[in-house]
Amino acid sequence: MTFMKKTLAASIAIAAASSLAMSTAQADMSDGEVRIGYLADMSGTYRDLAGPGGLTAMEMAVADFGGSVNGASIVISSADDRNSADVGANTVRGWIDQDNVDMVGGLVASSVSIAVTKVLEENNGLGIVSGSAASSITNEHCTPNHIHWVYDTYPLANGTAKAVVEQGGDSWFMLTADYAFGHALEADVTKVVEESGGEIVGGVRHPFPTNDFSSYILQAQGSGAKIIGLANAGADTVNAITTASQFGLTQSGQQLAGLLIFLNDVHALGLEATQNLLLTTGWYWDMDEQSREWAQRYFDEVGRMPTMVQAGIYSSTMHYLKAVEAAGTDDPETVRAQMAEMPIEDFFARNGSIREDGRMIHDMYLAQVKTPDESTGEWDLYEILSTIPAEEAYRPLSESQCKLVQN
């Protein structure tokens, strides 16, 4: 009996001690877990550029990190925002109120991201925007509660539009998706084109999403502009390029400038329709050994090569977890400050750092779509022409309208 009693007492003591140890380690982790919410379009127009693949990338990051931070396990939940700002904002409100979610990642449609970051600001949460394009997210819509990771409309315009004007494409017709992202991209492109000596001769704002682009392509043809700028994304861009080729737009001497084209778009359209298209990207799977290595691991899981957004989701989740580990807490404000202190240098980001407006700046790349003859495989789609250094790529802080920047 004594033996039994002793064993029992000992095990109780051990259990108590270990739970004490656990609670000291987790003292600063809210509810003893680091909870990440993945919010993205999982079924609509933007599914293939982030969607379930982005969730896989996030899960890879958590697994590579070891599944826990300072003894607190990492839990991911995910939801489909269906590209609706309302659905997105309500989901995140629920996550914060009921599920104690510490960080919200993914975030694709710009309108959703702007709504969600407002909720995060009101509730002192933390968000990392990876999929959205609107540069306003860290400009007039900046908050102390989010970071914008992969790219935005400023480098897209700065890279692609500048290169196109320099090649002689000095008159533009803009085909713009009629919502936050399209307007931001249109504004940024207009500025770059005019500063480079070009001119915007006309444009049309089409509803998002649009089924049939024939009418707009016809208007673009009638405008006489040399360049048709596509300030839209996803299925809309694919649709517009397909329709333009049916209407013989390029045969009649006009050229398309895709301002936001993802790897999956080029893959879907095929090289015949997209060859020689100039584009700006934040990352490309085949740009160097490090990238290829990660991309191959992703490919083995998903069966498709990752887009820059999916790679960025891995990179940002990893950086977040490192910051939580270093700060020893999942308190949003502390983690955000810690993230900004640590430089970002991984397979995705080169010369990366987070500015006070929440913009993660890193090297961007001007790329050209290969011709069918140049391509050696299904996913061999881009050639990287030049690097746009981090400092030059993004909107300078001196032009910022962000309330966090002292100008």
Partner 1 sequence: MTMIFGVPMAVFMGQLTLGLVNGAFYALLSLGLAVIFGLLKIVNFAHGAQYMLGAFAALLGFRYLGINYWLALLLVPLVVGAFGVLLERFLLRRIAHLDHLYGLLLTFGLALIFEGTLVNFFGVSGARYATPEILQGGLNLGFMFLPTYRAWVLVAALAMCLFTWFMIERTRLGAYLRAGTENSQLMQAFGVNVPLLITLTYGFGVGLAAFAGVLAAPLYPVSPTMGSSLLIVVFAVVVIGGMGSILGAIITGLSMGIIEGLTKVYYPEASNTVIFLVMILVLMLRPVGLFGKEA
Question: CA nearest 35: which of 4, 81, 72, 79?
Answer: 72
> Please, which of residues 17-36 interact with partner 1 by CB under 8 A?
none
Q: How far apart are CA 80 and CA 136, in angstroms?
A: 23
Q: Does 215 bind partner 1 (CB under 8 A)?
A: yes
Q: Does 156 bind partner 1 (CB under 8 A)?
A: no
> Quick check: 219 binds partner 1 (CB under 8 A)?
yes
178 binds partner 1 (CB under 8 A): yes
Residue 87 touches partner 1, criterion: CB under 8 A? no
Residue 260 or 269: which CB sits closer to partner 1? 269
Judged by CB under 8 A, the chain residues 303 through 362 that form the site for partner 1 are: 304
Q: Is 267 in the site for partner 1 (CB under 8 A)?
A: yes
**Among 264, 280, 316, 317, contact with partner 1 (rule: CB under 8 A):** 264
The distance of closest approach from Cβ of residue 222 to partner 1 in the complex, given in angstroms and rounded to an integer, is 5
242 touches partner 1 (CB under 8 A): yes
Whole-number Cα distances in Å, 103 to 126, 150, 322: 5, 17, 13
**372 lies in the site for partner 1, by CB under 8 A:** no
- Span from 107-115, 267-275, 313-321, 396-404 in contact with partner 1 (CB under 8 A): 267-275
**Separation between Cα atoms, residue 60 and residue 63, nearest integer Å:** 5
- Please, are residues 128 and 147 in contact by the beta-carbon 8 Å criterion? yes
Min. distance of Cβ 204 from partner 1 in angstroms? 5
- Residue 269 found at the interface with partner 1 (CB under 8 A): yes
Residue 299, interface with partner 1 (CB under 8 A)?
Answer: no
Among 135, 143, 158, 239, binds partner 1 (CB under 8 A): 239
Backbone CA torsion sign across 325, 327, 329, 332: negative
d(CA 380, CA 67): 33
Q: How many CB atoms are closer than 10 A to CB 403? A: 12
**107: left (phi > 0), else alpha (psi -120 to 50), else beta?**
left
The residue within the footprint of partner 1, chosen from 66, 71, 222, 343 (CB under 8 A), is 222
CA 223, CA 103: separation in Å to the nearest integer? 47
CA distance 290 to 295: 9
For the CB of residue 370, give the shortest distance to partner 1 in the complex, in Å: 17
SS3 261: coil
Confirm or reject binding of residue 224 to partner 1 (CB under 8 A): no
Look at the alpha carbons of 344, 154, 114, 48 in this order and tell me if their dihedral is positive or negative: negative
Q: Where on the chain is the footprint of partner 1 (CB under 8 A)? A: 43-45, 47-48, 178, 204-207, 209-212, 214-216, 218-219, 221-222, 235, 238-239, 242, 246-248, 252, 264-265, 267-270, 273, 304
